[in-house]
Structure 1
Amino acid sequence: MKKIAIIGLGVMGRVLALTFTKSIPHLDIDLYDKASLGAKDNCSYQAAGMLAPVSEVTSCGIHTYTLGADSVQLWEELLSIRGENLVQKHNIIDKFDTLFLAHKNDVNEFDLIKNRVSFFTKQHESIKERFRNINSDDLSSLEPSLMNGTFMNKGLLITNEGVINVPSFFKFTSQYFSEESNIRLLKEEVTKIENNKVYIDEYTCEYEYVYDCRGFPIEKSKDSGLYGTRGEALIVQHKDINLKHVIRLAHPRHPLYLIPRGNGIFYVGATSILSEDYSPISVQSVMELLSMLLVIDKRFSEARLIKTLTSVRPTSFDDKPLIIRNIGNTSINGLSRHGYLFAPKIANDLLEEFKKDIYEN
């Protein structure tokens, strides 16, 4: 019986494990993580979980669309296991359209976004129909409550995007991995990987193949090709505010995004700081996020601040995933803030490589 190891249970490790166990049901998989399966302190758990390849090209490279174009479809396929639609049962994927808006003072920033969109759609005519310019009348029809904000009189609507409900995804995968007979969970810190061997101090285990999804290496060197990007976010609740879209607010320093999570709960994110500081969120960041939130809807001044989130994401110097293939193992890293967007495509590609080069031989 063939056996593989997956090290690290962030979004990449979990998606990879789901992909392999779904495609090769009898494959034995050892899952390693130094934290418990239900741990909530890694950057994947604290992520927004956006599946927005079209929206992301307004601020990122074209690779975000290339890798993430089919992300919603791939997630739906991944979460259809044994004929059961887990998307609906566990409320893991929410489909949204995205509204790009701007404060009246940030019209120049909004025009930059529109110019990027125009350039992008000339290269990809097939998605031109997913962009729609809107005016204040359109906005009042799409999101009446947003008329409580202080917006310019135009915006941009991007259709057919989505969001992973991150807590639901972690809860489901934790339960699924615990119940699968061919999956072994090992709460251990891997100290070294050598070809297809995994070391835990002096203990060694050999596999057909090893996938390292831990994020930063244990000893990150200057030539690792990675640096840290600190992300900060808030979870707020206001039961009288009900939004039907993901809201992105154009801003020269803090382009905020607001994600509805149901029951009046919202994920508020924006800050992206070049730092490997894991300390709690700063007062300044909280004030900036909240002030931007009030631009969207003044009623958020009465919202309850449920939680603050901070994490450090491994980011490559060209902002692309860093996938290093070695003899007997592959390291997957540098997904930055696009882990949920990129993971299904990367996992499918790695699965096909494994089946072609190892499993079928």
Structure 2
Amino acid sequence: MSGPFTILGTGVLGLAVATELATRGHAVRLVDPAMGPGGHGCSWWAGGMLAPFCEFESAEEPVLRHGQASIDWWDRHAGGVSRNGTLVVALGRDRAELDRFARRTEGYEVIGGNHMAELEPDLAGRFDRALFFATEAHLNPRAALAALQSGLAARGTTVAAAPPDDAGEVIDCRGLAARDILPDLRGVRGEMLVLRCPEVTLARPVRLLHPRVPIYLVPRGEGVFMLGATMIESDRRGVVTARSVLALLSAAYALDPAFGEAEILELGADARPAFPDNLPRIGRAAGRLYANGLYRHGYLLAPALARQLADHVETGEKPEFWHETDDQR
């Protein structure tokens, strides 16, 4: 056993790093002024789609490779993973978007309307063709964060508002708050709605393609869904615009008109931390280790960064996502 390691931040990355280190027998302490992940940060507002093949449509190869391994990591450490795959559909006027999406990814089966009706009876007759990514999965991010924190607490790891005097090795996982040591971080805003619509039952995430506002709809159970889509280059947090609400609800209505009667339970917006190349980094800055820049791939890539960082502190080997600063070269 070694340590202690003091981890700054209790979002998905901070909790994943803490879990990986604690599981390997290291002493871990968590620090977050908010005293935990509940109700704040982009990890709280994530969709929870473990969809490496779908994300590969616009992401780099490491997202596909590491994202596939993340599904088992989450199942092992948090549970609650639904392995029902992902459906990608498009309305008739947007069929070209489905073809474009297919060309840019892999790991799917092209299915017809009958097969789709078997998978999602409530969407029967609405689409004559879809892409089915059978090996993808999803989880409830809030439940996953709570499970990681509960597992850490069972090992004696709690959350403090400030670092202790004997902080040991500090690992910075603060997301956008780390711009005080990582000035090239930028914010990428996402806006989400939580809906209740008992009239619709879905077993898996559904992505509706549109050239302007593609959406994803993720089932949370008991008629509750997370609806999201927007990717805006902005640091603005906390408030959803009327334009985004109209666009998201219109797209959900196009997917299934029953969503016209849905209750809006929550509106949320936050800014994801991203580096210029949209890939994460592990490195050293301001005398501490850091892991950051998950962009829109938080739940897909947090396990990979956690494993790489833990390997680094144990062996000194530089991770795949290691970033050298000018004074370290």
Residue in 2 aligned with 1:124? none
- Give 3-state SS (helix, strand or coil) of 2:86's partner: strand
- Within the candidate set 241, 246, 261, 2:200 is matched to 241
The alpha carbon displacement at 1:204 in A equals 4.6
- Give 3-state SS (helix, strand or coil) of 2:36's partner: coil
User: How far apart in 1 are the matches of 2:62 and 2:149?
Assistant: 30
The alpha carbon displacement at 1:251 in A equals 1.1
User: Which amino acid in the other structure matches residue 145 of structure 1?
Assistant: D
User: How far apart in 1 are the matches of 2:125 and 2:217?
Assistant: 15
- Alignment of 1:133 onto 2:110: yes
Residue in 1 aligned with 2:16? 15
The alpha carbon displacement at 1:268 in A equals 0.5
Measured against aligned partners, the alpha-carbon deviations of 1:98-122 in whole angstroms (never above 9, x if no partner) come to 11100111122112112213xxx5x
- Alignment of 1:317 onto 2:276: yes
User: How far apart in 2 are the matches of 1:165 and 1:17?
Assistant: 20
Residue in 2 aligned with 1:192? none
User: How far apart in 2 are the matches of 1:218 and 1:335?
Assistant: 13
- Give 3-state SS (helix, strand or coil) of 1:211's partner: strand
Residue in 1 aligned with 2:69? 70
- Alignment of 1:163 onto 2:138: yes
- Give 3-state SS (helix, strand or coil) of 2:83's partner: strand
Residue in 1 aligned with 2:326? none
Residue in 2 aligned with 1:300? 259
- Check conservation: 1:148, 1:297, Cα contact below 8 A: no
Residue in 2 aligned with 1:111? 99
The alpha carbon displacement at 1:350 in A equals 1.2
Tell me whether 12-21 or 104-113 shows the greater mean CA deviation: 104-113
User: Which amino acid in the other structure matches residue 345 of structure 1?
Assistant: A
Residue in 1 aligned with 2:35? 36
The alpha carbon displacement at 1:298 in A equals 0.6
User: How far apart in 1 are the matches of 2:276 and 2:153?
Assistant: 36
User: How far apart in 2 are the matches of 1:166 and 1:301?
Assistant: 26
Residue in 2 aligned with 1:52? 51
The alpha carbon displacement at 1:60 in A equals 2.0
Query: Over alpha carbons, which structure has the higher Rg?
Result: 1
- Alignment of 1:344 onto 2:319: no
**Cα distance change on mapping 1:328 and 1:280 into 2, 3 Å:** closer
User: Which amino acid in the other structure matches residue 171 of structure 2?
Assistant: Y
Tell me whether 211-220 or 106-115 shows the greater mean CA deviation: 211-220
Q: What TM-score do the two structures reach when normalised by structure 1?
A: 0.82
CA RMSD of aligned residues (A): 2.1
User: Which amino acid in the other structure matches residue 159 of structure 1?
Assistant: A
- Check conservation: 2:194, 2:227, Cα contact below 8 A: yes
Q: How does 1:216-295 map to 2 (within 5 A)?
A: 216-217=176-177, 219-220=179-180, 224-295=183-254
Residue in 1 aligned with 2:121? 144
User: How far apart in 1 are the matches of 2:32 and 2:207?
Assistant: 34
Runs of 5+ unmatched residues, structure 1? 80-85, 122-129, 189-197
The alpha carbon displacement at 1:328 in A equals 5.8
**Cα distance change on mapping 1:238 and 1:148 into 2, 3 Å:** farther
**Cα distance change on mapping 1:40 and 1:327 into 2, 3 Å:** closer
User: Which amino acid in the other structure matches residue 134 of structure 1?
Assistant: I
- Give 3-state SS (helix, strand or coil) of 2:315's partner: helix
Q: Decide which structure has greater strand share.
A: 1
User: How far apart in 1 are the matches of 2:40 and 2:3?
Assistant: 32
Measured against aligned partners, the alpha-carbon deviations of 1:252-287 in whole angstroms (never above 9, x if no partner) come to 122111111111111111011111111410111111
User: How far apart in 2 are the matches of 1:148 and 1:288?
Assistant: 23
Percent identical:
30
The alpha carbon displacement at 1:38 in A equals 5.0
- Check conservation: 1:244, 1:260, Cα contact below 8 A: yes
- Give 3-state SS (helix, strand or coil) of 1:337's partner: coil
Tell me whether 65-74 or 333-342 shows the greater mean CA deviation: 65-74
The alpha carbon displacement at 1:164 in A equals 2.3
- Check conservation: 1:148, 1:298, Cα contact below 8 A: no
Q: How does 1:70-89 map to 2 (within 5 A)?
A: 70-77=69-76, 79=77, 87=79
- Within the candidate set 155, 165, 174, 1:180 is matched to 155
The alpha carbon displacement at 1:143 in A equals 1.5
Residue in 2 aligned with 1:194? none
**Cα distance change on mapping 1:110 and 1:94 into 2, 3 Å:** same
User: How far apart in 2 are the matches of 1:184 and 1:328?
Assistant: 24
The alpha carbon displacement at 1:9 in A equals 0.5
- Check conservation: 1:94, 1:165, Cα contact below 8 A: no
